[in-house]
Amino acid sequence: NAVPPLLSVHPSRALVDEKFSVLVENLPPGCPVTIRSLYQSEDKDFWEAYGHYVSNHQGTVSVSEDISLGGTYTGKEAMGLLWSMRPIPGSRKGLRLRKKDTCAPMLVTISVYSGHEDVRDQAPLASALVERWYMAPGVQRIEITEKGVRGTLFLPPGPGPFPAMLDLWGGGGGLQEYRAALLACRGFISLALEYFNTNDAKPKGRRTPTVCFVQTAFEIIRSHPQAVPDRVGIIGLSYGTLMTLSLAAECPTIKPSCIVCIGNAHSKFLEEKVLKLAFLWGDVGNIDCPMLLINGTDDQNWPTVEVASDIIKMMREAGKESLVTRLDYPDAGHLIEPPFSPHFRAANFMLHGTKKKVMVLWGGKTKPHADAQEDSWKKILSFLQLHLYGAPSLKAKI
């Protein structure tokens, strides 16, 4: 009897920002096969990616070494089975894949099928289950509900002390934890903050409830017993970049050690009434810490590249241009997320302060966007390492 094909994935359990290798053995030489990933999201939607391969003279296919001839990705792409994932045909429109429960892994099934045709109704020749985690062993997750602040704190394994990060998402509301969880795996205490949908009454005598609320969150993380109080940074995406710049420029009590802004938004384009943000754009030059600006040139949501140029111009006028590092990624869109996250050119979005769901165009082409996510994450970690740990190498290796 012929030995049945064998599919193996190494490592089969890893953090979401780590690469894996997929190997299929015991195939006939020159055999056309399809390797497919399948994931059922927490919303019960199915996502898939697949590549078409031909086995070599030894009857093996290595996804990280061999070329995909077609499918949801082509070429030599070790992680194409993750970053090119898309909802299976017939799914609901406008889906976006985001992990809600960071304490449980993404369980992805990787299978090999005979041929290059549609394999969805075929039985696989072999399969393997892969665990992709946002939380490493030993990372602690703590819900925070003090001083009107609602968020989730992630602590790295070990006694510390650790530098810390405040993590601010965009205007969609809700609590997004997955980036903060991953930062904790890399040695940074991280607080993911829910700063939209907060029902607290407006504090008396304060400028704006939102900025004041985020300021309180910064103070909570800075005073944590395991945090190094003078080594706290802020990372923001989309509307979160405005909040990040506002805090760094205008709050005298907040002196972040560094800031990271992804998909830079601009206060001139925002309705102040909706977002309650009285941020004076001209104050950007007050910022005194290193900043990393990350943008996609195909961003269809904000004119982010122009905004970054504006920020640099104001920092130059203040004599502080040397504090700014700028990364513009060709053909990447607005939502530059952790590595190997699927790309969404458009997705559903809940308008803040309403129950209205709209389809938003984020932009980006899948392959360049995936490359931007992988490269920018490495550069974010190096930037944080340099300015929060003061060392160029990544110590927090789990």
Measured in whole angstroms, the distance separating CA 125 from the mean position of its chain's CA atoms is: 33
Contact 4, 59 (CB under 8 A): no
CB atoms within 10 A of CB 57: 7
Report, as an integer, the average pLDDT of 330-350.
90
Show the domains of the chain with their CATH numbers: 6-133 (2.60.40.2240), 140-389 (3.40.50.1820)
Measured in whole angstroms, the distance separating CA 13 from the mean position of its chain's CA atoms is: 19
Kindly report the pTM of this predicted structure: 0.91
Token pair of 55 as six digits: 């086995």
In this predicted structure, what is the pLDDT of residue 52? 98
Terminal Cα distance for the chain, rounded: 43
Q: Could you list the beta-strand ranges (E) of the chain.
A: 6-10, 13-15, 21-25, 32-40, 46-54, 61-62, 86-87, 106-114, 126-133, 140-144, 151-155, 162-168, 189-193, 227-237, 259-262, 291-296, 324-329, 346-350, 357-361
CB atoms within 10 A of CB 54: 15
Q: What is the pLDDT of residues 274-289, one digit of tens each?
A: 444 455 667 899 999 9
Question: Is residue 303 very low, low, confident or very high in pLDDT (cuts 50, 70, 90)?
Answer: confident
CB atoms within 10 A of CB 379: 15
Question: Is residue 340 very low, low, confident or very high in pLDDT (cuts 50, 70, 90)?
Answer: very high
Q: Which residues in 320-336 are b (16+ Cβ under 10 Å) and which e?
A: beebbeebbbebbbbbb
Cα Rg for the chain, rounded, in angstroms?
A: 22
> What is the CA angle 166-171-172, rounded to 5?
105
Give just the sign of the alpha carbon dihedral 382, 384, 389, 395: negative
CB atoms within 10 A of CB 138: 12
**How many whole angstroms separate alpha carbon 343 and alpha carbon 331?**
12
Measured in whole angstroms, the distance separating CA 228 from the mean position of its chain's CA atoms is: 25
In this predicted structure, what is the pLDDT of residue 64? 97
Q: What is the pLDDT of residues 181-220, one digit of tens each?
A: 999 999 999 999 987 654 444 433 333 446 778 899 999 9
- Tell me the residue type at 230: D
Q: 3-state class of 75 per DSSP?
A: strand
Measured in whole angstroms, the distance separating CA 225 from the mean position of its chain's CA atoms is: 27
Phi, psi of 268 (to 5 degrees): -65, -25
Q: Check whether 12 has a pLDDT greater than 90.
A: yes
Asked which of 53-57, 90-94, 317-321 is least confident by mean pLDDT, the reply is 90-94
Question: What residues does 70 pair with on adjacent strands?
Answer: none
Question: Is residue 4 very low, low, confident or very high in pLDDT (cuts 50, 70, 90)?
Answer: very high
Contact 334, 296 (CB under 8 A): yes
Question: Is residue 222 very low, low, confident or very high in pLDDT (cuts 50, 70, 90)?
Answer: very high
How many angstroms separate the Cα of 282 from the Cα of each of 158, 240, 266, 287, 395?
42, 18, 11, 11, 38
Report, as an integer, the average pLDDT of 44-56.
97
In percent, how much of the chain has pLDDT > 90? 71
Task: Give the DSSP H/E element, type plus range, for residue 313.
Answer: helix 304-317
Active-site residue numbers? 238, 299, 334
CB atoms within 10 A of CB 140: 13
Question: Is residue 265 very low, low, confident or very high in pLDDT (cuts 50, 70, 90)?
Answer: confident
Token pair of 139 as six digits: 């990372």
Ordered alpha helix ranges (H), 52-203? 80-83, 178-185
Q: What is the pLDDT of residues 95-119, one digit of tens each?
A: 989 999 999 999 999 999 999 999 9
**How many whole angstroms separate alpha carbon 155 and alpha carbon 213?**
22
Q: Check whether 48 has a pLDDT greater than 70.
A: yes
**How many whole angstroms separate alpha carbon 285 and alpha carbon 245?**
10
Cis peptide before 11 (omega within 30 of 0): yes
C-alpha torsion 257→207→190→150, nearest 10: 170
In this predicted structure, what is the pLDDT of residue 217? 93
Q: Is 34 exposed, middle or buried (0-12, 13-18, 19+ CB in 10 A)?
A: buried
Q: List, in order, residues 6 or more apart from 122 with CB less than 8 Å away.
A: 113, 114, 115
- Tell me the residue type at 296: G
